[in-house]
Chains A and B, each alone.
Chain A
């Protein structure tokens, strides 16, 4: 499976690159991730949320790292999901900030785990990647992720066709929405 998407962020490419390069904070806008731990100079350990409170995990290595230009990575032997990706940063014309171009590729495993992974990445991986980029842009440009009564957790295509009503969520609603985020 492949996903490609792009967005323009109204900030200099050095800043946008640095925000992405801080892998341990990627879960702030990549909602399917539970955690990313940097384990070595070019190595990191990724844990993604899966239905039923389970997780899928992999180790990854950086294969390219050009400050303000590009970051590429791929999973290592033994990954639950074999995957690779690259994110490119280009100055947008007329000083309009930085274009962020993301390409992701992953090979779902067979069997039950394959079904879990398919749900994890959704039926439209490009849409999920686009949602991630929208939240990434929101965090850099505004310092927060836009949340409404109908979408209390922010941009998420999978929730957008079965929204809660536009009525203030109470504590229980927020908790269940968070649980739904994980199990969706």
Chain B
């Protein structure tokens, strides 16, 4: 089959690789009909995610048709089922899974010892996202093996298009969880750093959960326009505006009640020397992140507010404004999304027309175009916001 493989920093190639096989009784094999490139794939592309191996198949946002089912998944899935697959792999039986914390599954990561060394405790397996999250081949491919297929895949039986449901695999639930972690009360003002796909879905979700105003912070005109026109947000371009001053002005000096960080480890910064400081430290591996958006979300949040972090971080953050967190009684909440928990309810929102997730898609390409698509997405060329790839197209 064809698959998009990571071949080193800034290099992906569509290669011919062996077809996946059932390895365990609860596996299924899915023929991928649509797959997307995630902003977090760019952290891998740029070489900032540790424990990648040359040849790894990328991709954790995908859906398709079940073509093979292991004996112990057969009670839930059959050949021909159309499914969306959540990006974390979860067994459904351990304590975190029982509590709905699926991205903390204790049984899905065969490389738990590596993840434990880096993070203190291990985390779940994730498709196509390095070896510390299991070394699983991803879904930017014609076929993919799905472990614990009796637990994860969500069946789509209502005639919705791939594009309407594909983002249930990651970014829609991730944005929603970012908003949910804010404990929004009616009248709240929520600020969202990053008007990329996750940030845009966090904005839509914040309104669904009762926010009165949502303020988007980014630097790309096309993304800020999407935030205004599609999510109903007010906007700040951090390249020409002091964000803290602007937020104070917009909120009568209080600051936003909650701040969602949907940027992650490779943030940009309006102040060149600080940006250079983090870029050098990150390049020398003295810190693994460039946490400008996180720092700003913390300092801008109203006292006693919530900072919700759904941007991806891999390791250590430098110059963390702990004094602001402690002295101003901030709550920080975070997590890789527990996708399984949100897929069903969010599918209902899509069916009812309350969320129309397709507005983020700017590019539709064949799987063969993955290398060009990564380059375009990284450099935000052609106003790229979201790329959907179709194998076999």
Interface residues of A (CB under 8 A from B): 8, 10, 96-97, 127, 130-131, 134, 137-138, 141-152, 154-157, 160, 163-170
Interface size for B (C-beta < 8 A) is 42
- A97→B147 CA distance, assembly (Å): 24
Q: Which chain B positions have C-beta within 8 A of A147?
A: 23-24, 110, 147
What distance in Å separates the Cβ of A9 from its nearest Cβ neighbour in chain B?
A: 9
Given A143-B25, A150-B111, A151-B111 in contact, is the A163-B72 Cβ separation under 8 Å? no
Q: Which of A144, A160, A167 has a CB less than 8 Å from the CB of B18? A: A167
Do B93 and A168 have beta carbons less than 8 Å apart? no
Q: Which chain B positions have C-beta within 8 A of A144?
A: 24-26, 72
Given A147-B24, A167-B18 in contact, is the A160-B111 Cβ separation under 8 Å? yes
Do B95 and A169 have beta carbons less than 8 Å apart? no
Q: Does B137 belong to the interface (CB within 8 Å)?
A: yes
Give 9 closest A-B pairs by Cβ, nearest first.
A150-B135, A165-B55, A151-B110, A166-B56, A168-B20, A149-B137, A148-B135, A144-B24, A142-B91
Do B98 and A143 have beta carbons less than 8 Å apart? no
Residues 90-126 of chain B, each 1 if its beta carbon lies under 8 Å from chain A, else 0: 0101110010000000111111111000000000010
- A157→B20 CA distance, assembly (Å): 24
Q: Which chain A positions have C-beta within 8 A of B138?
A: 166
- A141→B105 CA distance, assembly (Å): 11
Q: Does B245 belong to the interface (CB within 8 Å)?
A: no
- A167→B108 CA distance, assembly (Å): 17
What distance in Å separates the Cβ of A109 from its nearest Cβ neighbour in chain B?
A: 28
Given A155-B113, A157-B113 in contact, is the A163-B148 Cβ separation under 8 Å? no
Do B94 and A141 have beta carbons less than 8 Å apart? yes
Q: Does B221 belong to the interface (CB within 8 Å)?
A: no
- A137→B93 CA distance, assembly (Å): 11
* Chain A residue nearest to B58 in the complex (CB): A166
- A149→B147 CA distance, assembly (Å): 11
- A138→B72 CA distance, assembly (Å): 15
Q: Which chain B positions have C-beta within 8 A of A145?
A: 24, 110
* Chain B residue nearest to A127 in the complex (CB): B113
Q: Which chain B positions have C-beta within 8 A of A152?
A: 23
Do B95 and A166 have beta carbons less than 8 Å apart? no
Do B106 and A137 have beta carbons less than 8 Å apart? yes
Do A167 and B57 have beta carbons less than 8 Å apart? yes
